[in-house]
Amino acid sequence: MYLPKFALPQPFDRMMKDTKSFVSSLILYIYGRKAEFPNNKSKIMFVLSYMQGGKAQYWKNEAINLIAVDQEPFKDFTYFISQMEVQFGDLSPKATAIGKLKTLHQGSSSWTNIYYNLKLS
């Protein structure tokens, strides 16, 4: 059976600004190659394998330790992703954006540069 090619996710180290992109790349890969991930456990283990460094490493280790003794720390893949977003994502994107706008100074940067950097955040 032919499986389409998708880019593998980049390793995740817990940076809030990278959480949404990391989750999107995981979902794209996992759902694009469903045959390789027949159950929730295989999806969760795949994601955990890409969590490295800092708080992400600690969170990964805790989850693996529970899975190793046949405990289910996450009821399903959707719940796992939601917990990951709570742990690492921006819980208040509006407040974050307001904070960035309040501290914004143009300096020698062009408006296009500032706009692009705000959009990436």
Q: Domain range for residue 98?
A: 92-121
Q: Which of 29, 121, 40, 119 is nearest to 83 (CA)?
A: 40
Give the span between the Cα atoms of 67 and 61, in whole angstroms: 10
The domain total for the chain is: 2
Same domain, 68 and 33: yes
DSSP string, 85-119: HHHHS-S-HHHHHHHHHHT---TT--HHHHHHHHH
Same domain, 51 and 79: yes
Same domain, 56 and 75: yes
Per-residue pLDDT tens for 8-61?
888 887 776 778 888 999 999 999 999 999 999 999 999 999 998 888 889 899
On whether the CB atoms of residues 25 and 7 are closer than 8 A, the answer is yes
- 121 pLDDT above the threshold of 90: no
Tell me the pLDDT band of 66, cut-offs 50, 70 and 90.
very high
List 12's β-bridge partners, or say none: 51
Residue 48 belongs to a domain = yes
Give the span between the Cα atoms of 24 and 20, in whole angstroms: 6
